[in-house]
Structure 1
Amino acid sequence: MARDTKTCFLFDVDGTLTPSRQKITPEVLNMLKDIKSKVYIAFVGGSDINKQIEQVGDDCLKIFDFGFPENGVAFYEGTNLVEQTKIIDVLGEELYKKFVNYCLSYFSKIDIPIKRGTFIEYRNSMINLCPIGRSCSKEERKEFKKFDDVHLVRQKMVDALQKEFGKYNLQFSIGGEISIDCFPKGWDKTYCIQHLEKKNIKNIYFFGDMTHPGGNDYEIFVDKRVVGIKVEGPSDTVKKVYEKIKEKELFYSKGVDNCFYLLNITTNEFENPFLTRKSSRVPLDALKKDCNITEKPLRCKFSSLNTLLFLKIYTGKNNQDLPDLIQKPKCNSINITKKGLNGRLAKVGIIGKNSS
């Protein structure tokens, strides 16, 4: 499969690529290395680059094509820092001090089973607030999450902050298991989309776990420029990534002899196409000839393919030499049965069947 340079798989880190505040697993690393040859891959997270490296590893920036720590306010292309903006330049020192003093006073008044240290953490792109304190242990973190699920400690603080500081164009979202993120409106994870659009990336698939309203993945999950995919943890991420890859997989290549090589697969085999190795050789001229083009949206009918064929089509710049029917940006896929074209259009691909 040729790499689709118009598509990017964008991942939240904490809770999506890794367990909460833990290191990435070999399973997820292998998945990332595998799909990088097929699409662009990028990460976006609220933490700074050092915390991303703690979880993903020292090669974090080498693994991904693009890195967006701090919600993309810091932008890395490979290992190169392209852009960095700071929240303090937006808020100013006076508003920042007012905000910190309010939060410290609020923390002193709430009653929770355990409090540790580091209740406020300044980051370039946001202020991270933590009722239990970020220095808590993994076990204490889990216990606080259970307590918070019942008593809504963080949601109540978000409501109070919104009432007190919403007028300053600030936004608040619950992140991970223990914290709240505060940042200027528009500095949520959607901030990174502008960088991808500048790279002429047209299809962005976002994978995240905190996609509910108020969660720190919510804004980008519902953004119309993105296809949002909710996951329940790293293993679920791997599963859903390969499901999406299977939908997009390009099951053809153009040979030096001016032919298409198409996989011969049955309906059942398509459920796991990576196990299929047989192929059909179809000359380009024959492919063009066998397609009866009627009207837009494109409708075609094959007459010489001797098996069920599933051909995924990309319309990117790498396909300049493909037939006109595939070239057209709005080319839709079609289903062809033994009786011929049934007229039902799908999103991508061409399905053909010959009764022989």
Structure 2
Amino acid sequence: MSKQEIQEIRKHQIIKDDEIDLIALIKTIWEGRKTIYYTVGVCVFIGLLIAFLSPAKYTASATLLPSSEKKASNLGGLSSLAGMAGINLSSMMGQSSGIPAEIYPQVVNSYPFLNEFIHEKFHFEDYAEPISIYDYVVADTIPSLGSLIVKYTVRLPWTLKDAVFSTTKEKRYVDYGVLNMSEEEQKAWEYGLSIFSISVDEETGLVRIKTKVNERVLAAQYVQTGVELLQKYIINYKTQQVRENVEFVTERYIEKKLEYEQTQLAFFDYKDAHRNVISERIDPEFQRLNDAYDIASTVYKNISQQLEQAKIAVKEETPVFTVLEPAIVPYEKSSPRRMMILVLSAFLGGIIGSGIILGRLAWDNVKNKW
């Protein structure tokens, strides 16, 4: 800003009697417009660099409608009347059999979910064959040629120091009995943690899974695999108790089936061996084998029925998911939004330029008072 411009600006008294004179403010900014032109030009130039040098990002998403089944209620007509009034007595009394959708984000961000996700294989553009996220992150940590040159030239003293201390102090793996991730696992886990964005609509119960990455096909793969794993984990959580019951009943079924077959074989072998023999001495043995066979048969039939009921319970407790919007490969970039970046850059440049003009005016006023 030239001295002439500063003198012109000083002529305008912006604040008069604790009030701001808008006309004087506009004249002051207009007379220092060259400063605004410079700041706008600089900001637009920086915005152009950001808009055209930032990597392209693609967004893919999927929308799920979880099942909202309810257990049978003993409230009778009272539950229907309360429902007409907008009151859900079943949920108030804890009779909802479904898993709340609010815990889905916790499931997606949990270590078991992400650990399984990062070991799934995906098609990356830089690789001919599908690889896992873990292998991709580990391969990305391999030092490049430039970093190796810097390591053995500029940073040679520190490289030698690290080599000496690494040979004297060897790292030993210690099993502490708790989860202890390696450095590579930690990086892969953090990468997986940053992939998904999951939101739940409290009114409709819709669950939306979204991801934003620099490859459009990879974005759809991530979302599709994430939906499949989420369904798997929710089903496992929901049916864990009934599945454990099936396993327990199955073990008892195998035991009782073996006992039944053994008692059946012993009973019929005894009958065949004494088919034409009539004696009071064999009657107690015959009765004992017959009773054992009847008991084993009854128990075997009961445990068979329990096994079938347990299997049916697994089917009944398995939640059903409806995929309203499947994952689709995006064709348009979601970022960077170049036009918006340029508009914001120009606006920011104007604000900065105006601030510089008013700041200089205030500083000059302070110096004059001194």
Q: Normalization by structure 2: what TM-score? A: 0.19
Could you say which structure has the greater relative contact order, defined with CA pairs below 8 angstroms and 6 or more residues apart? 2
Structure index of larger Rg: 2
TM-score by structure 1 length? 0.20
More helix by share: 2
